[in-house]
Amino acid sequence: MAETAEKLFNAPLTALTEEEGMFQAMAREFAANEIRPHVEEMDREGIFNHDLLEKFFSQGFMGIEVAEAYGGSGGSFFLAILAIEEFSRVDASAGVVVDVQNTLVNNALQKWGTEAQKEEFLPRLVRDTVGAYALSEPKSGSDAFALVTRAREDGNDFVLNGRKLWITNAKEAGLFILFANINPQAGYRGITAFLIESGTSGFTVGKKEDKLGIRASSTCELILEDCRVPKANVLGEIGKGYKVAIETLNEGRIGIAAQMVGVARGALENAVRYAQERQQFGKPIAEFQAIQFQLARLATDVEAARLLAYNAARLKDAGMPFLKEAAMAKYFCSQVAERVASECVEVYGGYGFTRDYPAEKFLRDSKIGKIYEGTSFMQLQTIAKIILGK
């Protein structure tokens, strides 16, 4: 019974090409064999396993879309979404490491970088360098362009001062895409993106947050004190950082949607197995209609969320407008993940409230989906503006 349920949930819910199917199977097998053994310890200690991170690089998961000329796989955005989903099904922290690397850092550098920047940084991001995306600040969350980090021109450099907060992958990262304002009087039109390497003078990775969920994924503050960055490390045009940020985050939200689909799938698959094993009143609880209907509703929600995420990714790969679909996917998938994970705790009963079973971790990991890379309210605002023609 449990094996049948596993095959059902592993079946693709939309047509995949042969290449996509093979990649999905490889990512699923890697997650089961390489990630799963470390999940409990990484969550407990709040530290991502370094050897596992090295395997992400060696297996090509950190440069899925990067062109072969720079050492990448030259794959599609959709392949990256498949990897994020499969990794998150086992561990959401693993999913977000791959997500930020592929959908934010690599994508931004490939789209906005100069040829010299691509030649210098992309091979490293594929081979051994973790990337991070530094936009948020203490007073700049949903109002992302209210940032106060400043950059002033000084000869061939810019000198940056300020503080960033909630930066994913910061502890492990060797390269940061960081946003600062070079002309506060111009408002968001002064925002500029910079490429900053770890170890740069005046650049410090500060406090690591002790989080509710995705605990193995590092989330840290960044401190810039007269941090000197060469003008050659400006990503995109000066004053066009807002455009870099907006366009990159639109793609990144599809990655978060895929992460939440993975979390929901992982929670549900575990609950289905448990319901077939747990005996009450002389039979498995899966034989009670109340449990059957509960699982059926959740399975339907997961399937709908998965298709929304896949559709947004397909549109992006096809070069078609996808802003509304990305916002819908991010909003709906995060809602589904939290609801599914919560109800799956209830399927376990008292055991679901303990750390002896994985249900509580899926619930903790699901909460972040409504918050980062644009809150649920911001996604609703985006959707409303589009459908109302605002």
State both tokens at 191: 């925002």
Distance of CA 204 to the CA centre of its chain: 23
Cβ count near 232 (within 10 Å): 12
Which one is predicted more confidently, 140 or 153?
Answer: 153
123: left (phi over 0), alpha (psi -120 to 50) or beta: alpha
Ranges of H-type helices in 318-371: 323-348, 359-366
Picking from 1-10, 111-120, 150-159, 162-171, which range would have the lowest pLDDT averaged per residue? 1-10
The amino acid at 362: F
- pLDDT digit string (tens) for 297-319? 999 999 999 999 999 999 999 99
Average pLDDT over residues 146-175: 97
Residues 51, 130, 370: CA angle, nearest 5 degrees: 100
Confidence of residue 140 (pLDDT cuts 50, 70, 90): confident
- pLDDT digit string (tens) for 227-257? 999 999 999 999 999 999 999 999 999 999 9
Calculate what percentage of the chain has a pLDDT beyond 90. Answer: 93
**What is the rounded CA–CA span in Å between residue 92 and residue 99?**
10
In the set 85, 86, 343, 373, the catalytic residue is: 373
Mark whether 373 is an active-site residue: yes
Residue 157 β-bridge partners: 154, 230
Burial of residue 29 (CB within 10 Å: 0-12, 13-18, 19+) is exposed
Integer angstrom CA distances of residue 231 from 40, 214, 252: 44, 35, 26
pLDDT of residue 14: 59
Work out the mean pLDDT of the chain and round it to a whole number: 95
Domains, the chain, in order of start with CATH, read: 11-129 (1.10.540.10), 132-239 (2.40.110.10), 243-387 (1.20.140.10)
Phi, psi values for residue 324, rounded to 5°: -65, -45
**Number of helical (H) and strand (E) elements in the chain, helices listed first:** 13, 10
pLDDT of residue 1: 47
The amino acid at 205: V
**What is the rounded CA–CA span in Å between residue 24 and residue 27?**
5
